[in-house]
Structure 1
């Protein structure tokens, strides 16, 4: 039986010493099937290296995604920030096309002094500007993937991510289960909690294939505080209940591990999953 769920690290594997754009050989050698290239602190990869990464991922049958810059804020009231966001999203789409990334993951932004609904409206207006620029440049081979965010100050609860994905054809969600757990102060506790999230996605967006992030997480009253490894059992959410829910609901998924152990915990997730199928 071919696995319907594949696993990979958020960034270069822990013990890998080479450049990120050549990491797929190492990742495939570990037995993993996905890789999320990290551009969170800046898009420092050019066209040549992006195309090397594309060839490397295809050769190794690694599903590639790109995490866009953390500086993106679709809902800012500052014109300079919006212009910078448009530029960063445009550049992310260009790089994703070069490297063949099937998703561009990004954090949508912050509420600031706005209400949630106003922030969402501003974000939609900003995305329309981004799409206009991409269309004019002839950039077409991209899919933006807004991520559920971990802090209560951030735009990106589950309903907001669903709303953004309903609004735009080239939007698909990234569901970070640790972030949902943290921003709701430990709300993802049982298999029913996972089932409820999957059912909502299936009903609202008519999907049964997910791009996901997973780790255990520490939180405070304001949300996300710190990522933890899978063996740190004092922190949730539960990886086994998550994987059981995927299997029982017949979901396909790409699961990107964001624990401090990255690829090593991605392999631990894969081992749990293979014990269930």
Structure 2
């Protein structure tokens, strides 16, 4: 009964980002066609933003893949984007503005229900200069991103993404913290 398929977009390997993205766009179109031919027209494909710098998976790259077909919905992994930026994007001091800018980009680029009901992953993530090192728990506060500013914006803007908590070992507890934080707004 599952309808959403979350996947990584690939890596660059020895090719340029542009070449890797062109390959991924072609593969995306072929995947949509294969799903349709197999009777899975209601399947929602969700390319994920990635945490390592050498992987395809910037917000722009994921949104380019979403433009292949209106059924393709982004999986925004906020921890991955935080790690990819080495803690610059969604840092405590700028998190609210950064989240707002990302949500604005979704609305502008997608312009439809996918910007309201996107898929998301959330956890704190440690990083190195290459991006993501490892997922953490909400109790590990040395790294981000913070969740409270995101929850406030989701409520304020009446957005309803599916959010999967990917904390390391405390997924249920940290998911409950997300639910409680949202309910308290």
TM-score, normalized by length of structure 1?
Answer: 0.61
Deviations 1:195-249 (A, max 9, x none): 0100100111012222110001100000000111112221100011111121222
Shift in CA distance, 131/273, structure 1 to aligned 2, threshold 3 Å: closer
Q: 1:265 and 2:166 equivalent?
A: no
Q: 1:188 and 2:90 equivalent?
A: yes
- After TM superposition, the structure 1 = structure 2 runs for residues 1-277 of structure 1, keeping only pairs within 5 Å, are 100-186=1-87, 187-189=89-91, 190-206=95-111, 207-260=115-168, 261-276=170-185
**Structure 1 residue 139, shift from structure 2 partner:** 3.0
* Structure 2 CA distance for aligned equivalents of residues 266 and 176 of structure 1: 14
Runs of at least 5 residues in structure 1 that lack an aligned partner in the other structure: 1-99
Runs of at least 5 residues in structure 2 that lack an aligned partner in the other structure: none
Q: Give yes or no for contact 2:28–2:68 (8 Å, CA) kept in 1.
A: no
**Structure 1 residue 168, shift from structure 2 partner:** 1.7
* Structure 1 CA distance for aligned equivalents of residues 109 and 176 of structure 2: 31
* Structure 2 CA distance for aligned equivalents of residues 203 and 128 of structure 1: 22
Q: Give yes or no for contact 2:35–2:43 (8 Å, CA) kept in 1.
A: no
* SS of corresponding position for 1:104: strand
RMSD: 1.3
**Structure 1 residue 101, shift from structure 2 partner:** 1.4
TM-score, normalized by length of structure 2?
Answer: 0.90
Q: Give yes or no for contact 2:49–2:62 (8 Å, CA) kept in 1.
A: yes
Aligned match of 1:80: none
Q: Give yes or no for contact 2:78–2:122 (8 Å, CA) kept in 1.
A: yes
Aligned match of 1:56: none
* SS of corresponding position for 2:145: coil
**Structure 1 residue 164, shift from structure 2 partner:** 0.6
**Deviates most, 100-109 or 155-164:** 100-109
* Structure 2 CA distance for aligned equivalents of residues 209 and 133 of structure 1: 24
**Deviates most, 112-121 or 152-161:** 112-121
Q: Give yes or no for contact 2:51–2:84 (8 Å, CA) kept in 1.
A: yes
* Structure 1 CA distance for aligned equivalents of residues 26 and 167 of structure 2: 34
Q: Point out the structure with max Rg over C-alpha.
A: 1
Shift in CA distance, 215/102, structure 1 to aligned 2, threshold 3 Å: same
* Structure 1 CA distance for aligned equivalents of residues 72 and 172 of structure 2: 27
Number of residue-to-residue matches in the alignment: 177
